[in-house]
Structure 1
Amino acid sequence: MCEANLSVVPDQVLERLIEAVEVVAVTGKGDGPRSILSAWPDYRRKIARRQKTFPPHQISRAEEALTWFSLIEDPDSRRALQFEVMCKAGGGKFSRICEKYGWKRSTVTSRNRVILQNLACRLKTAV
């Protein structure tokens, strides 16, 4: 199991995933979150409207963070975390996503915290 003093790390993983979604969405890659978000409920193109450019190292950093989702083996858990990250990046309201799928928001949020903790542990051991 992971060390107990890593309580900040899951929040850092979440922040990095949110940043990655924002960066890749703005870069306009056809396979990135911009095209994925358009198919999601309550998507309002909040991310896509931002007109920014990012240096190549930041785009690479974002693409690396997006690969972390593949470390989550359970597809339902992965999808729930992806929805939360996309919503926090400005792609909609997570409460509406939860309602659409019949999820209790507080339960999904607490499960996502556990997933982030496990992901943080896996990333720490991978380094």
Structure 2
Amino acid sequence: MSVSTSEEVMGRLVEAVEVIAVTGKGDGPKAVFAAWPDCRGKVAKRSRTFLPAQISRAEEALTWFALIEDADARRALQFEVMCKAGGGKFSRICEKYGWKRTTVTSRNKVLLSKLAKKIELSS
């Protein structure tokens, strides 16, 4: 499935974090949360199983972060995605780093639009 909007990209990223967390793979939740140590909450675990194709789709979406060259922008987006997946409160993350939440959210929307274009071009 291709993505063409920032909302679709965000949805796929949130879904990816949730799928990886639920699968309990060795490289799943601990590794995912280790990358974002400030997200202290837990992604809501559902008693679900996922098809291998769904897990592959999730893993593919997580690779999209590598398409973001600016490390600070990538980090801010990662935090927002983790929080939307249930990994904490984004407002607390913003407060900790001295970010204005509305500014970071706006920048993330622009970043997601650019990311959607990059993904579409690479498809």
| Other-structure match for 2:116 | 120
- TM-score (ref. length: structure 1): 0.85
Does residue 66 in structure 1 map to residue 69 in structure 2?
A: no
| Other-structure match for 2:37 | 40
Is the alpha carbon distance of 1:74 and 1:94 closer, same or farther for their aligned partners in structure 2, counting shifts above 3 Å?
same
Distance 1:42 1:81 in 2: 13
- TM-score (ref. length: structure 2): 0.88
Question: Given that residues 18 and 85 in structure 1 are in contact (C-alpha distance below 8 angstroms), is that contact kept between their aligned partners in structure 2?
Answer: yes
Look at both structures and tell me which one has the larger radius of gyration over its CA atoms.
1
Give the drift of 1:35.
Answer: 3.7
Does residue 96 in structure 1 map to residue 92 in structure 2?
A: yes
Q: Which runs of 5+ in 2 are unaligned?
A: none
Is the alpha carbon distance of 1:32 and 1:51 closer, same or farther for their aligned partners in structure 2, counting shifts above 3 Å?
same
User: One-letter code of the match for 1:15?
Assistant: G
User: One-letter code of the match for 1:103?
Assistant: W
User: One-letter code of the match for 2:25?
Assistant: K
| Other-structure match for 1:51 | 47
Figure out how many residues of one structure are paired with residues of the other and give that number. 119
Which structure exhibits the higher relative contact order, with contacts defined as CA atoms closer than 8 Å and separated by 6 or more residues? 2
* 3-state SS of 1:124 partner: helix
**Deviation per residue, 1:31-69 (Å, 9 max, x gap):** 33444426633523243x433211100000000000000
Distance 1:56 1:126 in 2: 23
* 3-state SS of 1:91 partner: coil
Ranges of 4+ aligned residues in structure 1 off by more than 6 Å: none
